[in-house]
Amino acid sequence: MGTGHNYHGFPMEILQLTTTPFYFYDLDVLRTTLAEIRRLTADGPYSVHYAVKANGNPRIISEIAQAGLGADLVSGHEIEAALAAGIPASEMTYSGVGKTDWEIRTGISHDIGCFNVESVPELEVINAIAGEMDATARVAIRVNPDIDAHTHKYITTGTADNKFGIPLESLQQVIGMAMSMPNIHLSGLHFHIGSQITQMQPYEMLCDTINGILDQYEDQGIQFEIINVGGGLGIDYDNPDAHPLPDLERYFGTFKQRLHLREGQRLHFELGRAIVGGCGSLICRVLYVKENRGKRFVIVDAGMNDLLRPALYGAHHQLQNLTSTSSDIETYDVVGPVCESSDVFAHGCQLPVTRRGDLIAIRSAGAYGESMASTYNMRSLPAGIFHSSIDK
């Protein structure tokens, strides 16, 4: 069944000997992505922070730390994981609308680079806790620019209907409050408009909005050290072999050309999916192929607990049969074993004739795959397997 064959870059001798389901990570793809990011951000005052929520596997974070990236974090445990991987606290930003007191204390005690503040009550709590600790917390105010990134409603974050950030009409008041607080240092402004953004127009609109804000506050004599534009750059879920890397050149180029930074300002990016999405695949094995009223089902041993995205918001992943030798194509619904009707990876999926025992790769699963996995139905968490042609 294909032992020794390398299909779409997959080392079949490794895949055949590993208990399914598991996540397979191609370190060559990850390292190429990181090298491209370094190349494109080496010519200016740019810092890239990896959004750890995309994939918290220690090996992944370690690879990213070795590449010199910082970390964007949304929990205290993510702070600890980033520190353990060797990312300096000074290169960490802490985001999220619901920071707990112990998480704020953790960030302050390690003197992290910046808290991205989402609300006035949060700003007040950070100031109070920093005061108790006889410390000063650096903050950036997250601004909700009311820009529609034209993505799924569950992953858009920059419109007026979302829970994230401070509305533009309240920004002046919140900046004044932050500047008056004794244990707060206002470092900058933070923006993040959504995820899986593949067109540059939303980013162009964001640049125009930020330019207007900077003009307004420069007239008032207020300067910001940091402008953080978040992340959200999408990947190609339809053609992962043709486009294993996202369009990083166009993404960074948009901000370089359109955003008017002031002297001494640093531009921060918070990329997650764009860094790790393309390097990971969920590998599973076919348990059964059945036909029900003219519809064919492929039942695999991976479930929605292993990869939640399709069940959560109908996300599309390309599926590949790695072991079928048939040249005939059939149409299947590919489903998992979990006792939920939403445990479906693909409807109407075109695959070569598929049989019990075949290996299926669910592609582009490096982001929000392993990090969102659960033990629902008391199923085991999937393992992570790493491979690099260079490390052989």
pLDDT at 94: 98
**What are the residue ranges of helices labelled H in 4-97?**
12-17, 27-40, 58-66, 76-85
Nearest to 351 by CA among 318, 309, 310: 318
Q: Are 75 and 99 in contact (CB under 8 A)?
A: no
Cα–Cα distance between 124 and 356 in angstroms, integer?
59
Model confidence, pTM: 0.93
What integer is the mean pLDDT of 52-61? 98
* Angle, helices 58-66/27-40, rounded to nearest 10 degrees: 40
Averaged pLDDT score across all residues of the chain: 93
Tell me how long the chain is.
392
Pairing between strand 280-292 and 359-362?
A: antiparallel
Cα–Cα distance between 51 and 74 in angstroms, integer?
8
Cα–Cα distance between 115 and 107 in angstroms, integer?
8
**What are the residue ranges of helices labelled H in the chain?**
12-17, 27-40, 58-66, 76-85, 101-109, 120-132, 171-180, 201-219, 248-258, 273-276, 309-313
More confident residue, 181 or 390: 181
Cα–Cα distance between 39 and 42 in angstroms, integer?
6
Cα–Cα distance between 196 and 156 in angstroms, integer?
9
- pLDDT band for position 392 (cuts 50, 70, 90): low
pLDDT at 8: 58
Beta strands in 198-247 (DSSP E): 226-228
pLDDT at 80: 98
- Given a cut of 70, whether residue 159 has pLDDT beyond it is no
Pairing between strand 137-144 and 114-117?
A: parallel
pLDDT at 32: 97
- pLDDT band for position 23 (cuts 50, 70, 90): very high
Q: Are 64 and 34 in contact (CB under 8 A)?
A: yes
pLDDT at 115: 98
- Which domains, ranges and CATH numbers included, belong to the chain? 6-23+278-387 (2.40.37.10), 28-276 (3.20.20.10)
Q: Are 139 and 185 in contact (CB under 8 A)?
A: yes
Task: State pLDDT tens for residues 315-369.
Answer: 999 999 999 999 999 999 999 999 999 999 999 999 999 999 999 999 999 999 9
- pLDDT band for position 156 (cuts 50, 70, 90): very low
